Chains A and B, each alone.
Chain A
Amino acid sequence: MTKSDNYIKIFYISQLTERIVIAMRTKKITPWLYIGPATFLLFFFLVYPSINTAYISFFNYNSEKFVGIKNYLYCFTNEIMLNSFRNNTLWVIVFVPLTVFLGLIIAVLADRVKYESIVKSVIFMPMAISFVGAGVIWKFVYAYRPASAAQTGILNAFRSFLNSEPLPWLIEKPWLNNLCLIMVGVWIWTGFCMVILSASYKGIPRELLEAARVDGATEFKIFWKIILPLMKPTLAVVATTMTINVLKVFDIVYVMTNGNFNTEVIANRMYKEMFLFRNFGRASAIAVILLVLIIPMIVINIQRFREQEAIR
């Protein structure tokens, strides 16, 4: 490197600093200083990896050989994968309506008693603990021993109290064990639905309900004809949130059955392909499928944001 090279460098650097100083004086650069770190991290941890994952889903297990759509073909033909799709579908069909419905009913009923806040805290409490903790709690509820031994799981103890045979709740496939896992999810998320729906319910003007009562409408009719229609937008928000959650369900299954006995779900399968089988191609394809299933929710999200902006 010659001396003149260095001079040129210094010249350029000084010019660059001058430009930055001018930009700072005119305050053009300030916003970028504020959003810079966040933007960098978002691109590093979310945007770039997502694009990369979509790309390597067309490659083999160590991303060295292009394999076309082979990984996707595997996902849609492999028996365990098809099983996972079935189970995730079952989760959506059972979990989403149940959490939304229970959340709504509890919100509306608890509004009529004096100890509302205690009841709501109790239902909401599972939101504070981990899915792993919830998994332990419920595995204990479902604990199973042969009929000759004393039952320590409360469900089977209840059954033997009724003189029925104890049931292996988490093993009995394919419906009982999946439904038992879904109930754990319902236990956790109902409180979330209840909190949002309760706020929306309390936003309905009381005079409206009183007027309907004076006109002789039954409570049941008020619920169906007034409360439900008014809460429709909130119900839709809660239902989409629950659908996203349920498509990504992982921890509960990982802790309680690890996908054994036909309880496999998409997210747990992705983890296994990635960490147990080290097949990054297949794992990526599963992740992409998961994203594609969630995309409609992303679109709804962005539309909702646009609507909000329009109101502002």
Chain B
Amino acid sequence: MIKKLISMFSSVPLHLVIVTVALIWILPSIGLWLTSFRSPADVAASGWWTVFEHPFSFTCYTLENYQEVIVKIGIGRAFINTLLITIPATIIPILIASFAAYAFAWMQFPGRRLLFVILVGLLVVPLQMTLIPVLRIFNKLGLAGTFPGIWFAHTGYGLPLIIYLLYNFISGLPSELFDSSSIDGATPFQIFIKIVMPLSLPALASVTIFQFLWVWNDLLVALIYLGGTPDVAPLTVRISALVGSYGQDWELLTAAAFVSMALPLILFLGLQRYFVKGILAGSVKG
């Protein structure tokens, strides 16, 4: 009993350190969240932490900030744009990468090794190296400022990592699977669709959440290829513009930021397991 008490007390500093660190990490987000529900007058007059002085006066909270940013400032439109960009820009690269990863893992062809080494090198080529020539081609083809343009751009940029991660998984499948199926007369395509894809579901889930979050949160690619026109601009571009023009209206900035964070956070909390697996499978992209 006493021994237990002693060990409990000796671990107090440990708990103190961990809880403090966790609090420091989460406090800024809580501040953002609470502020987004406070009236402009309250936000200008006092800090968000003062709401804890009257924890039960719910009347001081309002949804007006959300109404204002979503309808009037156009964050609602930006949310739809982000969705329209992110969903195809997640599905297309994963589809193309699955085929490539399967070929790299289980087919023999000349130049396979060289191509793969190039791919691994491309994993860390900074996007900045590609922006100007691609933009020029896009301008010529009329793809700049359009959704298809940015779908393809995100596909090209996402491919190295997605192929790499899927390759790691698919090449680890037991080779007996492939031998016995091809003896049964299955074509490579049948093996791919009926065996490899279903078995790769965990890996596919990892790369899907990876690519989804990457595209959803991207600022640079959208800034360059889409620009700030309200018709096409995603959340990140619109919000970074708001920071300039509504610099002191914190109730609006925080509401807009929370709109952009809500879906990724839900996905993250629901699929954290797959996200972590994707990172552990060898993430080198930033």
- Seen from chain A, the residues whose Cβ lies within 8 Å of a Cβ on chain B are 27-28, 30-32, 34-35, 37-39, 41-42, 44-50, 52-54, 56, 106, 109-110, 112-113, 118-119, 121-133, 135-141, 143, 150-154, 157, 187, 192, 195-196, 199, 241, 244-245, 247-248, 250-251, 254-256, 258, 267, 270-271, 274-275, 280, 283-284, 286-288, 290-291, 294, 297-298, 301-302, 305
Contacts and interface: CB of A to CB of B under 8 A. Distances in A.
A298 B217 contact: no
Contacts of B99: 34-35, 37-38
Interface string B238-279: 011001100000100110110011001101110010011001
A35 B104 contact: yes
B257 to A, nearest CB: 4
B115 A39 contact: yes
A301 B123 contact: yes
B100 A135 contact: no
B280 A196 contact: yes
Contact of B31 (A141, A150, A283): A141
B125 A136 contact: no
Given A53-B133, A132-B236, A287-B128, A42 B264 contact: no
B279 A34 contact: no
B132 A53 contact: yes
A68 B17 CA distance: 56
Contacts of A45: 130, 134, 152-153, 155-157
Interface residues of B, number: 95
Interface stretch (B39-47, B51-59, B60-68, B198-206): B39-47
B159 interface: yes
Given A35-B104, A291-B126, A136 B188 contact: no
A143 B125 contact: no
B102 A128 contact: no
Contacts of A153: 47
B156 A130 contact: no
Nearest to B253: A136
Contacts of A248: 126-128, 286
A145 to B, nearest CB: 9
Nearest to A303: B120
Contacts of B276: 124, 195, 199
Contact of A137 (B28, B46, B97): B28
B42 to A, nearest CB: 10
A267 B97 CA distance: 28
B213 interface: yes
A21 to B, nearest CB: 15
Nearest to B15: A113
Contacts of A127: 268, 275
Given A34-B99, A38-B96, A271-B220, A125 B268 contact: yes
A241 B283 CA distance: 8
A280 B132 contact: yes
B126 A42 contact: no
A46 B133 contact: no
Nearest to B271: A128
A35 B272 contact: no
A34 B217 contact: no
Contacts of A125: 25-26, 29, 265, 268
Contact of A250 (B47, B152, B220): B220
